[in-house]
Amino acid sequence: MSGRRQYPFHLIEPKWQQHWDAQQTFRAWNPGEVLPQGHPFAQRYGFENKAVTAAQLPPKFYILDMFPYPSGAGLHVGHPEGYTATDILARYQRARGRHVLHPMGWDAFGLPAEQYAIKTGQHPRKTTEANITTFKRQIKSLGFSYDWTREVDTTDTNYFKWTQWIFLKLYNSYFDYFHNKAMPIELLKDAVSEIPKRQTEWANNDYLNSLRNVTRGESEDAIRRHIIDSRRLAFVTEAPVWWCEQLGTVLANEEVIDGKSEVGGFPVIRRPMRQWMLRITAYAERLLSDLDTIDWTDSLKEMQRNWIGKSEGAEVDFAVAASRQSAAETPIIRVFTTRPDTLFGATYMVLSPEHKLVAQITTPEQKKAVEDYKAFAAGKSDLERTELAKEKTGVFTGAYAINPVTDKQIPIWIADYVLASYGTGAIMAVPAHDERDFEFAKKFDLSIVQVVQPPDPKTDWQGFVDDGTAVNSASAELSLNGLPTQEAKKKITAWLESKGLGKKTINYKLRDWLFSRQRYWGEPFPIIWKRDAAGNLYHEALPESALPLLPPKLDDYKPTPDGQPPLARAQDWVNLPDGSTRETNTMPQWAGSCWYYLRYLDAKNPNAFVSPEAENYWMGKSSTLSSPLSTKSTTPGVDLYVGGTEHAVLHLLYARFWHKVLFDLGYVTTAEPFFKLVNQGIILGEDNQKMSKSRGNVVNPDEILVEYGADAFRLYEMFMGPLQDSKPWNTKGVEGVYRFLGRVWRMFIDEHSETEFEQAETTATDPQKHRELLNLLKLNPSIKDVQPTAAQLKTLHATIKKVTEDLDGMRFNTAISEMMVFVNEAIKWETKPASVLREFLILLAPFAPHVTEELWAKLNSSFVIRHSSLSFAEWPKHDPALLIEDTLEIPVQVNGKLRDVIKAPADADNATLEAAAQASEKVKPFIDGKTIKKIIVVPKKLINIVAV
RNA sequence: GCCGGUGUGGCGAAAUGGCAGACGCACAGGACUUAAAAUCCUGGGACCAUAAAAAGUCGUGUCGGUUCGAGUCCGACCACCGGCACCA
């Protein structure tokens, strides 16, 4: 304990937390709900005992925290940073007259509970519930104004029923490229017969093209099914995926960092498996372009842009040169390039080792070398393949392609620096103007031909990758010579298109979202598998009425030895009477967090994931724009979303994707879920002198609360610095704001009565009675119901102005320092006007809600007040007239250097100020004997005399 | 390598192009106290000077530029943090 307790927060804080709970003070109301008698919100707006419509309710403000994963370790000081910021703003917006939705919940599916289950046999539900209990107790002890009636838990059957329901929507939808939006799969069923007519529209789609092989020789029904299944937003594919042996599951691209699992850091390998995927790639362009409609930081938007990775270029077809023995069909190799202007410099080609044409084109002489290389590449981990500064490797296939503009034969190689998963899995190599191709060509002695002249003739053209002027780029039909890169691109692309050799193309790095996991503790897929007459396996969705689909009971949560998910152990559950079987994969943890912000709007609705009325009121209506292609919405959605940067790409991209699907299908009315988003910085460890960069998650808030209380903790979290910055935790710093709260307390409370209170507390035997002892405390006799002086009003209104502006700009640290300035000043007043102190309490209340409620109640017991509840008291407005100064102190500079500060009437004109400045005794020595060239007067601010 | 961000006292930080360091921590001195804790008051960027001061000089990562005036704007560079990384 660091000295005497500043004020009895240990009694005040639980008292008010219980009061808020009992009164449901911070409950938010949906349109149509009846507001109870005596509720402070109902009282403020005159809604007591009334049902209110959306139009009657005050304008909404939806302020959202990223809900936590309730780990066994409990809360650390990093969690409450964002929560405190949003709570302050929630309370501020209530005061400003907004109807605030401020909910909290639990992202509770996850690996730790499952791994604990594997070790101990304890059901993950038990572990999860225990952790939630701890988290909830800790979060409640901080006095946040959450509406707990809307609490959600992603592992609750009443919640994941709707997660499964949304999956069915994805399953039963397809992406219509013509309308650029998701549509019900029924519409596609009608259109399947038209497929031949719409080939052009769909020619883009690899999965349709690949069907030609799959569907060969099958029945018409089977073909129809293949076509439909291949276009669903949730689809099954046999694809190489990241398999993590130690975790016993596959992982999404986003969960693999540097060739290791994000969770646990275990090695991962590529392995072909049958998996569920979500077609997020269809939304790449909208996910990219709609970033312009939302208010996120540039760095965050940039991370999403990079992840989506749009690049514009061209696809070019290269014919494989007819080989000695084969005759009829020469295959075509399609490449993607962002530099079609360098086509004349393409002196060889490279296929990824996995490219499907490799086996077909390889010559018998090279067969062994190629197969050896393929095995070598497949055996490499991702880390080995992408390791920095590694040597390029590759082998020649023996085959040649024909460069379509030079007509020359160029060798075809395979190399693992070409990725199967990007573009077409094949490149045209232009060694003169691409770093990687250049390196490769040097190593394997391939020819390097200049086709771009750098703008600066001194620059070496070898390895020059920037824009320049095309050279050596002419054939009988076409010349690019002399054209700047950008124009050369246009010209060659047009030429390729006219010849049917290629076309303008856009590529994205974004891959489809691998959506299945081999885990127990996740949402089961509402899918069953059947066989058709020919014995082919196919899938069907369960009807909505079958939801929620619960996971089976298990004794052993491990995956099966043959790599089947744990659910496969439950044979009774898997095998259905009609011979069909259940899907045994589960959904990834991201599924539940993709839409939780929507469930908060109507958390207990048993009939819908959210009612249209609730969605409309809290997310806002979209204005219907005339063009059906428009995906823009003019409305905000969540007004403010605060959380850590660790979710910059994963959660935030997935949630935007789901939201857009729900938007397309008409279930939500905004194209974007989170209008404004702010990332709080990381709190670093305390031992900063060792330059420790570790997160401050060793500091347990419980210990801080025991010693300083929740109000001081909240205040310190905000006072450390700007919300967005990372900063080191310093427990000593908590004492500073704690002392500030003590000063506030002493400003309001009579010292004598406090001594009595403290003595009574030490002698009172029954701790239950302690709280009643708070009644012994009396108001400070210096507080009187008097008219404030002009100076007092000025101090108050300057504080109102600054705190209001700072809250609007989320500058909590400077708002707090301004209130410190106020208290340092006001505590000296011999007579403290009750009206001034009352307004000050409203300003401080969002930051330190407990102590202000107690002081507010004390003040109310002696003076007439306007509102009975501080939580819904109206925010004060500053009066600019009160801030006007009669006399100003104006700095005087000579040649930009400060020489004096003079006093002048606020309305003094420039000539008066100039004269006064020159008359200053301190200024004179610096201008004597010099010529005054000019005098700059910034009214009310500054005078600068320029003298030489 | 590419993209984004940040560099200000011993520390956390503050400053619409206009008095750099508000507010707080730590520290030092004083008051109160038998004493301590708590509280209250005072001090504080560096240098130079001095018994003490005043005055002065320098000072916001480095170098340059724009401007009457730059922590703030522009250019080049350095360091650190975050993200991406053989993406054709």
The whole-number Å distance from A251's CA to B2's C1' is 27
For residue A319, the surrounding DSSP H or E stretch is strand A310-320
Percentage of the residues of chain A whose pLDDT score is greater than 90: 65
Q: What span, in angstroms and rounded, lies between the C-alpha atoms of A697 and A10?
A: 24
What values do phi and psi take at A892, rounded to 5?
A: -115, 125
Q: What is the ipTM of this complex?
A: 0.96
Instruction: Grade residue A697 by pLDDT with cuts at 50, 70 and 90.
Output: low
Angstrom distances, CA of residue A682 to CA of A67, A643, A695, A724, A857: 16, 10, 7, 8, 37
pLDDT at residue A308, as a whole number: 95
CA to C1' distance (Å), from A305 to B48: 55
Q: Is the CB of A742 under 7 A from strand B?
A: yes
**Strand B nucleotides with an atom less than 7 Å from a protein beta carbon:** 3-5, 11-16, 18-20, 22-26, 37-41, 56-57, 68-70, 81-88
Of A655, A525, A587, A516, nearest in space to A67 by CA: A655
At A381, is the pLDDT very low, low, confident or very high (cuts 50, 70, 90)? low
| DSSP single-letter state for residue A623 | P
Compute the 3-state secondary structure of chain A and give helix, strand, coil in percent, each to the nearest 5: 40, 20, 40
Cβ neighbours of residue A852 closer than 8 Å, sequence gap 6 or more: A841, A844, A845, A870
CA of A883 to C1' of B62 (A): 43
Distances (CA, A) of A127 to A115, A517, A553, A758: 11, 20, 15, 42
B32 C1' to A756 CA distance, Å: 21
Is a pLDDT exceeding 50 seen at residue A689? Answer: no
d(CA A331, CA A340) in angstroms, rounded, equals 21
CA–C1' nearest nucleotide, residue A740: B24
Q: Which of A742, A750, A752 is nearest to A823 (CA)?
A: A742
A187 pLDDT higher than 70: yes
How much is the pLDDT for A763? 82
- Dihedral in degrees, nearest 10, Cα atoms A527, A532, A536, A539: -10
Calculated CA dihedral for residues A118, A120, A125, A128, nearest 10 degrees: -100
Tokens at A178, concatenated: 């013509």
| Closest residue (Cα, C1') to B12 | A720
Structure tokens at A419: 């990725």
CB contact at 8 A, A447 and A457: no
Token pair belonging to A58: 């005050």
Q: What does the block give as tokens for A525?
A: 């897929």
| pLDDT on residue A325 | 52
Nucleotide at minimal C1' distance from the A823 CA:
B23
Cα gap A836→A591, rounded to integer Å: 51
Establish how many alpha carbons lie within 13 A of residue A663's alpha carbon, considering only the half-sphere containing its beta carbon.
28
A313, A338 contact by CB (below 8 A)? yes
Question: What is the model's pLDDT at position A698?
Answer: 65
CB atoms within 10 A of CB A49: 11
Give A95-98 contacts, CB < 8 A, sequence gap 24+: A95/A842, A95/A845, A95/A846, A95/A872, A95/A873, A95/A874, A95/A875, A96/A875, A97/A58, A97/A59, A97/A874, A97/A875, A98/A58, A98/A59, A98/A60, A98/A61
Residue among A633, A652, A677 nearest A308 (CA): A652
Tell me if the pTM is above 0.95: no
Phi and psi torsions of A245, nearest 5°: -60, -50
Number of alpha helices (DSSP H) and beta strands (DSSP E) in chain A: 32, 36
CA to C1' distance (Å), from A936 to B67: 12
Report the pLDDT value the prediction gives residue A270, as an integer from 0 to 100. Answer: 74
Mean pLDDT of the region A17-27: 97
pLDDT band at A391 (very low <50, low <70, confident <90, very high): confident
Chain A 773-832, CB < 7 Å to strand B: 811, 813-814, 816-817, 820-821, 824, 827-828
E strand map for A417-554: 426-429, 452-453, 469-470, 502-508, 513-514, 527-531, 537-541
Half-sphere exposure of residue A570: CA atoms within 13 angstroms, side-chain side: 21
Q: How confident is the model at residue A632 (pLDDT cuts 50, 70, 90)?
A: very low
A25: helix, strand or coil: coil
Q: For residue A329, give both structure tokens.
A: 């069909």
Distance A648 CA to B30 C1' (A): 54
A739 CA vs B46 C1’ separation (Å): 31
Angle (deg, nearest 10), helices A812-826 and A834-844: 160
- The two tokens of residue A364 are 């018998």
Does A898 contact strand B, using a CB cutoff of 7 Å? yes
Helix spans in A380-456 (H): 382-386, 435-444
A124 preceded by cis ω (within 30°)?
no
pLDDT at residue A11 in the model: 94
Task: Say what the pLDDT of residue A291 is.
Answer: 93
Q: What is the β-pairing status of strands A640-643 and A60-65?
A: parallel
Per-residue pLDDT of A259-274, as tens digits, reads: 677 777 787 777 778 8
A209 C-beta neighbours (distance < 10 Å), count: 11
- Measured in angstroms, what separates residue A889's CA from nucleotide B9's C1'? 26
Query: What are the tokens at A219?
Result: 């029945």
Please answer whether residues A595 and A166 qualify as being in contact, where contact means their C-beta atoms are separated by less than 8 angstroms.
yes
Would you state the structure tokens that stand for residue A826, as one six-digit string? 């006001």
- Calpha distance A378→A251 (Å, rounded): 18
Strand B proximal to A309 Cβ, under 7 A: yes
* Other Cβ atoms within 10 Å of A539 Cβ, number: 19
In this complex, the nucleotide whose C1' atom is nearest to the CA atom of residue A743 is B39
Residue bearing the bigger pLDDT, A648 or A738: A738
Q: In sequence order, what E strands does A626-778 have?
A: 640-643, 677-679, 683-684, 727-728
DSSP state of A242: E
Q: Which of A832, A823, A827, A837 is nearest to A870 (CA)?
A: A837
Integer angstrom CA distances of residue A120 from A331, A546, A557, A558, A744: 57, 32, 10, 11, 51
Q: What residues are paired with A277 via a beta bridge?
A: A235, A514
| Within A 118-147, residues with CB less than 7 Å from strand B | none
DSSP state of A409: E
CA gap A594, A661 in Å, rounded: 12
Tokens of residue A620, six digits: 């806002």
- Burial class for A228, CB neighbours closer than 10 Å (0-12, 13-18, 19+): middle
Average pLDDT over residues A383-402: 79
One-letter amino acid of A230:
S
A731 CB-to-strand B distance under 7 Å? no
Task: Give the residue-averaged pLDDT of A700-728.
Answer: 93
CB A682 within 8 A of CB A726: yes
Paired tokens of A576: 């259905």
- Please check whether strand B approaches the CB of A313 to within 7 Å: yes
Distance A218 CA to B35 C1' (A): 98
- Is any atom of nucleic acid chain B found less than 7 Å from the CB of residue A941? yes
Which carries the bigger pLDDT value, residue A345 or residue A890?
A345
* Listed residue (A435, A467, A431) closest to A452, CA to CA: A467
What is the four-CA torsion angle of A838, A843, A845, A851, rounded to 10 degrees? -50
CA dihedral A345, A348, A352, A357 (to 10 degrees): 120
Q: Are strands A409-414 and A348-351 parallel, antiparallel or unpaired?
A: parallel
Residue A137 has pLDDT above 90, yes or no: yes
CA of A456 to C1' of B88 (A): 25
**What pLDDT, on a 0 to 100 scale, did the predictor assign at position A762?**
83
Write down which residues 582-621 in A have CB closer than 7 A to strand B.
Answer: none
Q: What DSSP designation does A862 have?
A: H
E strands of A435-570, at which residues? 452-453, 469-470, 502-508, 513-514, 527-531, 537-541
Asked whether residue A732, judged by its CB, lies under 7 Å from any atom of the DNA or RNA strand B, the reply is yes
- Which nucleotide is closest to A382, CA to C1'? B86
Is the C-beta of residue A385 closer than 7 Å to nucleic acid chain B? yes
Name the nt closest to A415 by C-alpha to C1': B86
pLDDT over threshold 50, residue A692:
no
Could you tell me which residues are beta bridge partners of residue A242? Answer: A251, A270
pLDDT tens digits, one per residue of A58-92 = 999 999 999 999 998 888 888 899 999 999 999 99
Tens digits of residue pLDDT in A495-548: 999 999 999 999 999 999 989 988 899 999 999 999 988 888 999 999 999 999
Averaged over A666-686, what is the pLDDT? 90
Average pLDDT over residues A425-432: 96
Contacts of A474 (CB under 8 A, 6+ apart): A344, A480, A481
pLDDT of residue A622: 39
Q: How confident is the model at residue A174 (pLDDT cuts 50, 70, 90)?
A: very high
A20 touches A145 (CB < 8 A): yes
Q: Is the CB of A868 under 7 A from strand B?
A: no
- pLDDT for residue A933: 86
Distance A743 CA to B39 C1' (A): 10
State which residues between 463 and 522 of chain A bring their CB within 7 Å of strand B: 507, 509
User: In this predicted model, what pLDDT tens digit does every residue of A635-663 receive, in sequence order?
Assistant: 579 999 999 988 888 899 999 999 999 99
Asked if strand B comes closer than 7 Å to A36 Cβ, the answer is no
C-alpha to C-alpha distance for A516 and A119, rounded to whole angstroms = 23
Nearby residues of A70 by Cβ (< 8 Å), 6 or more positions away: A106, A107, A108, A128, A131, A132, A134, A135
Q: Chain-wide mean pLDDT for chain A?
A: 88
**How many Å does it take to go from CA A439 to C1' B30?**
74
Q: How far is the CA of A920 from the C1' of B69 (A)?
A: 20
Q: CA of A31: how far to CAs of A50, A617, A848, in Å?
A: 11, 8, 31
Residues of A (644-683) placing their beta carbon closer than 7 angstroms to any atom of strand B are 645, 648-649
Strand B closer than 7 A to residue A889 Cβ: yes
